[in-house]
Chains A and B, each alone.
Chain A
């Protein structure tokens, strides 16, 4: 039951909001706009195409949207667009948000529940916004004796590190934030930070259960890091490059690697579940054993940021699976070569390849994400020693099987330069 303050009047609440908006408008008009124009008087403005980028251009583009197209085209070529929008943060955060919603409804359907239902007219579709507002308005409790700096820094570091993994993922031909030669190794290097952040946070929060959870995160990394790395090695042998775009290109020239390396794909999937701390490998946050593991002392927005980071990480690992085994953005062309829109002609910024690639990439990524959500509805948690046993005795051996399969494919002249199945 929600409770209102005693003297609450809705009219007064709305009135106070209107007063607030009024004062903000007054201050912006009297102080903000003059400041902007004074600054713009001294700052040289960048030319875009054949015109100079001024605030007036934005006002013009409200009436004539066509004039904004070259500006958008120029912006889309910059690093800022890539970092902030498409293969970068906003895209990953959107996919993370959709994943959270899908996870709830999907698990509810699997367990014959209805899931979130009330926020939003259709199937509780606004539940995520409601949850966000709840998390942001909750008090953050820092436990006594906690290392305050680490306690506040760890969630930020978690989100930023997850974003740094996303930077290496190409989402469409040419759309990648950081196109480095050693992309795959860089992904592994950045993923290695997550257990350390968990351990730091658990040590900082000065409590028993988080500490146990942090140590478990460490053990989990030890058990599953090597199968994780070795399962991707067979892909590298087949494609001959560590660049993720190059790996996708080599699959476009032959077939998806999952047909040649199904065992590697399986090992990669299992170890990425462990890397993500999802059921059945959610020992670091086992809620029925050690309260909530390393998340025990989190509250409010700290918990929200850690959740956001872990779902962004889910996207990154699902996308990595798609790139390594499912052919990245490969797929039949569904977009027309030219597009005609009624009011604004968007053909200068329309890229058929990129649109098609990002569509198939997103669809495949969601497929893999659904596959990653599936064990949560059907599987119990496994024990610590069984986890280590699985990682060291079984998955490493399985990963080596496909390394030898890959070697045989290369030396048998089936794949590789001039191979039988290379188109």
Chain B
């Protein structure tokens, strides 16, 4: 195929728009039909199993497993990059697979080291 234009992706947007068309009326209808009683301010407090909520809803938090997030940024790009190779596999000579194997070896070593570091306690 001779490549594609952005217009080929337009049906995805139609579908997105149809999703909007289907869900917005549902919310509007629900707003029209459902009761709205506002005399009890306790009702609008955040959920705390019936207690008065303590602390803030949005607070600073400890980003646990941060090492995995850093790894994700690298290896997600790697896995998408492999798709470019996987799609073109029939059209490239067999010798072109060797560099990819080398690339995979480098990435595996890096991933092993990163997983070793991610598993270590006390440095994160």
Contacts and interface: CB of A to CB of B under 8 A. Distances in A.
Interface stretch (A44-52, A55-63, A221-229): A221-229
Contact of B29 (A136, A159, A160, A230): A136
A205 B11 contact: no
A226 B79 contact: yes
A79 B87 contact: no
Interface residues of B, number: 65
A274 interface: no
A209 B47 contact: yes
Contacts of B19: 89, 156, 159-164
Interface string B68-102: 11011001100110110011011000100100000
A225 B14 contact: no
B14 A305 contact: no
Given A219-B68, A305-B26, A208 B46 contact: yes
Contact of A203 (B45, B58, B65, B80): B58
Contacts of B115: 392-393
Contact of A233 (B27, B59, B79): B79
Contacts of B71: 392
Nearest to B13: A164
Nearest to A241: B87
Contacts of A230: 79, 82
B123 interface: no
Most A CB contacts (10 A, CB to CB) among B45, B47, B86 go to B86
B27 A82 contact: no
Nearest to B46: A207
Interface in A172-217: 177-181, 184-186, 188, 190, 203, 205-209, 211, 215
B35 interface: yes
A142 interface: yes
B49 A291 contact: yes
A70 interface: no
B39 interface: no
A237 interface: yes
A416 B94 CA distance: 13
A379 interface: no
Interface stretch (A105-113, A296-304, A352-360): A296-304
Contacts of A203: 58
B83 to A, nearest CB: 6
Contact of B76 (A82, A208, A225): A225
A156 B23 contact: yes
Contacts of B58: 203, 206, 211
Contacts of B55: 208
B104 to A, nearest CB: 8
A412 B27 CA distance: 57
Interface in B18-44: 18-20, 22-24, 26-27, 29-31, 33-37, 41, 43-44
Given A79-B14, A143-B45, A208-B55, A159 B23 contact: yes
B30 A300 contact: yes
B87 to A, nearest CB: 6
Nearest to A301: B30
B57 interface: yes
A237 B47 contact: no
Contacts of B69: 222
Given A136-B26, A156-B27, A178-B11, A242 B87 contact: yes
Contacts of A163: 15-16, 18-19, 22
Interface of A: 79, 82-84, 88-89, 93, 135-145, 152, 155-156, 159-164, 166-168, 177-181, 184-186, 188, 190, 203, 205-209, 211, 215, 219, 222-223, 225-226, 229-230, 233, 236-237, 240-242, 291, 296-297, 300-302, 304-305, 308, 384-385, 388, 392-393, 396, 400, 403, 407, 410-411, 416-417
26 contacts: A83-B14, A88-B15, A140-B30, A140-B34, A141-B43, A145-B46, A159-B22, A159-B23, A160-B19, A164-B12, A167-B15, A178-B15, A180-B8, A181-B3, A208-B55, A219-B64, A222-B68, A226-B75, A226-B76, A229-B79, A233-B83, A237-B89, A301-B27, A301-B34, A392-B71, A396-B111
Interface of B: 1, 3-4, 8-20, 22-24, 26-27, 29-31, 33-37, 41, 43-49, 53, 55, 57-59, 61, 64-65, 68-69, 71-72, 75-76, 79-80, 82-83, 86-87, 89-90, 94, 97, 104, 111, 115, 118
